[in-house]
Amino acid sequence: GQQVMQIPQYQHVQEGEDFTTYCNSSTTLSNIQWYKQRPGGHPVFLIQLVKSGEVKKQKRLTFQFGEAKKNSSLHITATQTTDVGTYFCAGPNGGSQGNLIFGKGTKLSVKP
């Protein structure tokens, strides 16, 4: 079945360092979404990428969608303690409209 894989599982960085998480799908995706879940919180939608090779930026966050629409990355420049949380990528389940398959997430911790 369709799988969405995400690496690394954990990342510990010093405040100010950069951070990247990678997402790979076993199938071509029509779009990919990214969510952030703070400790003790719920997933919050960050962004959706639709076009092959698309790059979007939100302040210090840069999101990329691969040319083949099977992989994506989230890069954070100069991490801050407010970036702490788990970042999930999610792709549509090919069988049902609106359903998402989530990657296992990358848990980011930032040491001040």
Partner 1 sequence: DAMVIQNPRYQVTQFGKPVTLSCSQTLNHNVMYWYQQKSSQAPKLLFHYYDKDFNNEADTPDNFQSRRPNTSFCFLDIRSPGLGDAAMYLCATSRGDRGVYEQYFGPGTRLTVT
> Which stretches of the chain bind partner 1, using CB under 8 A?
30-31, 33, 41-45, 48, 50, 88, 92, 96-100, 102-105, 107
Question: Distance (Å, rounded) from C-alpha 58 to C-alpha 78?
Answer: 13
Minimum distance between the CB of residue 94 and partner 1, rounded to whole angstroms? 12
Residue whose CB is less far from partner 1, 82 or 97: 97
Residue whose CB is less far from partner 1, 19 or 34: 34
Q: How many helices (H) and strands (E) does the chain have?
A: 0, 11
Residue 62 DSSP symbol: E
Minimum distance between the CB of residue 92 and partner 1, rounded to whole angstroms? 6
Give the residues across from 72 on adjacent strands.
23, 65
Minimum distance between the CB of residue 70 and partner 1, rounded to whole angstroms? 17
Question: Distance (Å, rounded) from C-alpha 48 to C-alpha 29?
Answer: 12
